[in-house]
Structure 1
Amino acid sequence: MKKQLITILALLFVSLSFSQKMKVVSGNFDFIKDQKQINVEFVYDNVTVHKKKLSNDEYVKERTADLEEKGRGKGKAWAKKWIASRELIYAPKFLELMNRDLLEKKGISFEEDLPDAKYTLIVEAVWFYPGYNIGISRQPAKVSTLLKFVETANRDNVVLEITGKNAPGNRFGGTFSNEDRLGEGYAKTGKTLSKMIMKKAF
């Protein structure tokens, strides 16, 4: 019983250590409750990667070279997967968790490619830490973002801006894929933002 309690406390400590911090920089949530659809765009132009805060191009070049040394073609295959994961993993994970409560309970849909929506949520990647899993040791990914709600027809009008820092990313049971871990970080970001909207807009 004592060992079980220690294990539970340890897991709680870990989860708290890797909890995401979201902070409202400017604006408020008043505009959201009257909307039925909000356009979403994902931006990666200025993202930095790892503790060294490499630019995306620097990180891709370095990682590609490392993998090519381990096997010809491995680096190039990974580089394609790294970019494709934005559309195939990160965006869908974020949107799934955003819509889980907001669409079902409040009737608000967050989707890409909605040019007629009055407001657009810009999810800008700020920092990625891919984490690692070498079997005997694991480290969750971390995803930091800048979340900006703007008028779709006037992008200079930012109605709400939120920073999301260190969203933890890992799958139950672990995964050896950096991209899957980062995808879970996007899922956590969507979940946290959704809860914040549910609490503050309604």
Structure 2
Amino acid sequence: MKKNAVLFLLLFTGVVMAQKVDVKKGDFKFLSNQKEINVEFVYSNLKLLKEEFSEEEYVKNRSEDLNEKSKGTGDVWKKKWEGSKEFIWNPKFLELANVVLSKEKVNLVFQEGLANAKYTLIVDVVWIYPGWDAAVMKQPAKVSTILRFVETANRNNVVLEIHTDKAPGDQWGSNFSNESRIGEGFAKTAKTMSKLIAKKAF
């Protein structure tokens, strides 16, 4: 019984993690009369793991490691990773941002490709830890971003900048997909951002 309690504590501690959020510049007032915000995702500054590998280094190392264990699996994983931004991470962020705002009765939408929107949110993804799942024990993914709200017509004018640190990709049950766990970190980031917007702008 005691052993089970310790195991539960370890699992619970691994999943329940706080996300650090720091408003570095500006305030939320400009959002109060907006109906839509253009969104762009930037991965050019991305680092991975505690070693802070570049994305190129990380993908090369992991694909080679997987291919050594089982020929071809690294190549398959590489394709999944390359598609994750478009098909998992970016959509997760947008989905949760809008779901939370809708629940909070805030008439504001975040969407890619809104060239005529007055403001653009640049989601600069700066660090990712993919996490791991060994069924009995697991570690959630973590995602750090810089969220910059800029004038669409003048990108140098940053009206609000928020730093989010190590947003946890919470998971219930088993999740053996690194890419899916990372997606939950994007969802957590968007959820936190939208709650702040609802509280401070509306």
Partner residue, 1:146: 146
Distance 1:14 1:66, change over 3 A: closer
Q: Name the aligned partner's letter for residue 60 of structure 2.
A: K
Partner residue, 1:68: 67
Q: Distance in 2 between matches of 1:146 and 1:136?
A: 33
Equivalence map 1:36-115=2 (5 Å): 36-103=35-102, 105-115=105-115
Partner residue, 1:168: 168
Gaps of 5+ in 2: none
Partner residue, 1:118: 118
Partner residue, 2:188: 188
Q: Name the aligned partner's letter for residue 113 of structure 2.
A: D
Task: Tell me how far 1:15 sits from its aligned partner.
Answer: 5.4
Q: Deviations over 1:176-198 (max 9, x none)?
A: 00000000000000000011111
Task: Tell me how far 1:100 sits from its aligned partner.
Answer: 1.0
Over the matched positions of the two proteins, sequence identity in percent amounts to 54
Gaps of 5+ in 1: none
Distance 1:52 1:115, change over 3 A: same
What's the TM-score, normalizing by structure 1?
0.92
Q: Name the aligned partner's letter for residue 31 of structure 2.
A: I
Distance 1:35 1:8, change over 3 A: farther
Task: Tell me how far 1:10 sits from its aligned partner.
Answer: 7.4
User: Partner of 1:168: helix, strand, or coil?
Assistant: strand
**Alignment RMSD:** 2.2
Q: Name the aligned partner's letter for residue 21 of structure 1.
A: K
Q: Distance in 1 between matches of 2:85 and 2:137?
A: 26
Q: Distance in 2 between matches of 1:178 and 1:14?
A: 16
Q: Deviations over 1:75-107 (max 9, x none)?
A: 111111111100100011111110013245111
**Pairs aligned (count):** 200
Q: State the 4+ residue runs in structure 1 displaced beyond 4 angstroms.
A: 5-16
